[in-house]
A and B are shown apart, each in its own frame.
Chain A
Amino acid sequence: MSDGIPTVTIVGTPDSGFTFDGGSSFGQMNDGFYGESVQSDGRFDHLKQERLFFFNEIADAGGDPSDMGGPGLFFPTTEAKTVHVASSPGLNVTFDSANADNAITQSMATAFAQAMKTDGDIATVNISATTNGHIPLSNHGVGDALDINYINGTHIAQGGAGYAVALKLENAAKADPNVRYVEGPAGNFVRTAGPGSSWTSAPDMGKSELTHVHFEVFAKK
């Protein structure tokens, strides 16, 4: 466990079923039983239980729960980080600071451009994170993810105008078959069966409110 985030190791395949090792007495994942989730100090670990519940839903739906990603489960890519996101005709791209203007993969840059094209109402977008502020061994770290915190000058928010722009951006990102995971105030969504597969709602597994939209692409193999 690091940074207070429960770590769950998933073992198995869709054919054999999945088991997992979370340091507690968990059972077979896709048989509807996932045991007790009790920490060493005796407290019930709600975060871990919620995460496991979601994994179980993925497995029941025939997906591979290890495709969920997240801490310790990032997807290495064969792509290099070669592209800086830049403004284009009709779209002004800015960053929180120069610290955020780092190179990302061509796949991520293409998905970003596609989302901006899908939602034709976006004139300005501000990026809070490319590879900055994340560990190297994460989907951000390898250049396959972006965080956006302002659209058309309005900060992403839980309600009102900031929520409306977040909803539009999340929908635009989901329209791209190569986007794997979307997270924001309008909901968290994951594709677990490859590019273009259907979206599964991912639960909100945190307590803090989301004030940005994150989206990432499938890693190149």
Chain B
Amino acid sequence: MELTSYVNIAIIDSIIMKNNRHQPLKLLGAAFLLLSTKTAFCHDYPEYMGQYSNIEKSQASSDCNGAKINIWSIGNHVIGTFMLADGSCDSLELPIYNATLEKGKFHFESPGSSESIKGNFIFDGSIEKNAILGRLFQRHANGDLTEISNVTLPKKK
């Protein structure tokens, strides 16, 4: 049990001692303790959620096409990398930010593929059991959005 939980117990003991004739407050204190303890036990290290990718080489040009996402969860947060293969097979894996994952709905943003083009990428979609599905957009420097592609990224084993 972590330090925060011991602190919580001490605080709740103090509340219960002062209000020992108020049973509802005791229950409230116990519930608070359980929730606090659970929170304290949530992992605060990155837990790998997987790699999702549909990158492949063109047979005729030997160019790489597709996209790849690596994601980790840290508590309620999601971090990761994103790569859009748009020709080169050694495109940078870019950091994702403003990532949210709620009830399967997945959103993130990343820098664009070129260091020279202002704006960024935005992904809106969902994480299914074996794939990430969604739409990839380019947000231009003036805020305009243009869609790049619908993507289906199977989870890699």
Contacts and interface: CB of A to CB of B under 8 A. Distances in A.
A is bound by B: yes
Nearest to A141: B62
A81 interface: no
The number of chain A residues touching the other chain, given as a range, is: 35 or more
A134 B62 contact: yes
Contact of B65 (A68, A159, A211): A211
A70 B65 CA distance: 15
Contacts of B59: 5-6, 47, 51, 70-71, 205-206
Question: Most chain-B Cβ atoms within 10 A of its Cβ — which of A47, A74, A96?
Answer: A96
A148 B92 CA distance: 16
Nearest to A51: B59
B57 A71 contact: yes
Interface string B115-157: 1111100000000000000000010110000111111000000
Interface stretch (A28-36, A103-111, A125-133): A125-133
Interface in B76-119: 84-92, 112-119
Contact of A155 (B85, B115, B141, B148): B148
A140 to B, nearest CB: 7
Given A96-B91, A97-B115, A214-B87, A70 B146 contact: no
B30 interface: no
Interface in A168-185: 181, 183
A208 B88 contact: no
Given A95-B114, A128-B114, A208 B54 contact: yes
Given A134-B62, A138-B62, A212-B87, A157 B147 contact: yes
B16 interface: no
Nearest to A188: B60
Interface string A207-221: 111111010100000
A128 B92 contact: no
B58 A183 contact: yes
9 contacts: A97-B115, A139-B61, A139-B62, A149-B113, A153-B117, A205-B60, A206-B65, A211-B84, A214-B63
Given A68-B60, A158-B147, 11 more contacts: A47-B59, A96-B113, A128-B87, A128-B88, A133-B88, A154-B140, A155-B138, A183-B58, A207-B56, A214-B58, A214-B63
Interface of A: 3-6, 47, 51, 68-71, 74, 94-97, 99-100, 126, 128-129, 132-135, 138-140, 145, 147-150, 153-162, 181, 183, 188, 190, 202, 205-212, 214, 216
- 3 closest A-B pairs (Cβ-Cβ)? A147-B87, A133-B88, A208-B66
